Amino acid sequence: MVKVLVLRSEKGRITEKEIVEGDLVEVVKSVAKKALEEWDPSSSDFIALKDLKEVELKLPLKPEVVDLLREYGSLARAGDKAVGQMPVFTISFDNMMLGEDKIIENKIYLIAPYLGENIETELEAMAAEYTAEREEAPGIEEA
């Protein structure tokens, strides 16, 4: 069992934050089921993505952090710091496609192993940025 950070971001703001204990994959599946209940297939795609985020952590690391990074990502020493990659899952359930490679995210869940306050702050900023309002693309008018 590990600590897992679950963030919900809507229109550039973190609207929910929870740290839960459990198996990372099972927490992701549980959050996906929750998001699925809110999803409106007539107006949005449902997207679940896994990415790896590079993190720098001060040494010494707690044994559970070492185990987690080795199991789900990678870990190496760089001088007086540890550098690793950790999985970050994003579940988008309220979005709008503007083109083949352009999407506006209105609501997402971001799920990742909890590795401390510094990484939590980075992930909060990342989640808020994903859903931040942007200027509309040229040629798109509101009805």
Domain boundaries, the chain: 2-53+88-130
Which residues touch 120 (CB under 8 Å, ≥6 apart)? 5, 114
Rounded average pLDDT per 10-residue block, the chain, 143 residues:
94 97 96 98 96 94 88 89 95 90 92 94 97 65 52
Distance CA 10, CA 16 (A): 9
Determine the pLDDT at residue 136: 54
Determine the pLDDT at residue 135: 59
DSSP per-residue string spanning 16-82: EEEEEEE-HHHHHHHHHHHHHHH--TTT---EEEEEEEEEEEESSPPHHHHHHHHHHSEEEEETTEE
Pick from 53, 29, 38: which is nearest to 115 by CA?
Answer: 53
Distance CA 59, CA 56 (A): 10
Structure-token pair, residue 7: 């963030």
What phi and psi, each to the nearest 5 degrees, are found at residue 138? -60, 140
pTM for the model:
0.88
